[in-house]
Structure 1
Amino acid sequence: MPGVLRTVAARAAPTLRAAVGTQRASLYTRPAKDKLGPVETAIGLGMFSLAILGPSGWILAHLEDYKKKE
């Protein structure tokens, strides 16, 4: 069985490599046009914190409600 898998892998590998090799990423590494101020930075960090910690905080705050079997 390992010989069959090796044969299939040997035939499929060049095809898979060719498809991956032709993909191009469109990344631009230039600096931002406008600098962000402290207000925008604080709002961004606050939103990310809320998005990450909000759901877990909600669950912990309502843990007793989830324990009840009604």
Structure 2
Amino acid sequence: MTGNFSALTRQNHVVKEMKRAIYSKPPRNRIGAAQSFFVMSVFAAAMLAPAAWILRHLPEYRQRVQRSPRT
């Protein structure tokens, strides 16, 4: 019984610690529109660049498969 009780109190302690990390105040440093645009552009480029590379080289990948069939 004591093992279950300590587990329950430990969970309450973890929840309290997590609540302390949540801030409800306004940010100390405001981020401007230019910074937001730059960060979102870099993020979009990082996500789309690998897909664009694969799509651009897709005909080459198809030719490789046709030349050497799998056995």
Which TM-score tier does this pair reach, normalised by the shorter chain? 0.5 to 0.7
Change (3 A) 1:29 1:52: farther
- 1:13-28 matches, cutoff 5 A: 18=8, 20-23=11-14, 24-25=17-18, 26-28=21-23
> Hey, what does 2:54 align to over in structure 1?
59
Q: Which has the higher helix share?
A: 2
Task: State the Cα distance separating 1:22 from its structure 2 match.
Answer: 3.8
Instruction: Name stretches of at least 5 consecutive residues in structure 2 with no aligned partner.
Output: none
Task: State the Cα distance separating 1:64 from its structure 2 match.
Answer: 1.5
Query: Considering only aligned residues, what root-mean-square deviation do their CA atoms show, in Å?
Result: 2.4
Number of residue equivalences: 56
C-alpha offsets along residues 20-61 of structure 1, whole Å, 9 cap, x if unaligned?
A: 544232222322212212220111110111122121111111
Give 1:53's aligned amino acid.
L
Change (3 A) 1:22 1:64: farther
Instruction: Name stretches of at least 5 consecutive residues in structure 1 with no aligned partner.
Output: 1-13
Seq. identity, %:
23
| TM-score, structure 2 as length reference | 0.55
1:39 maps to 2:39? no
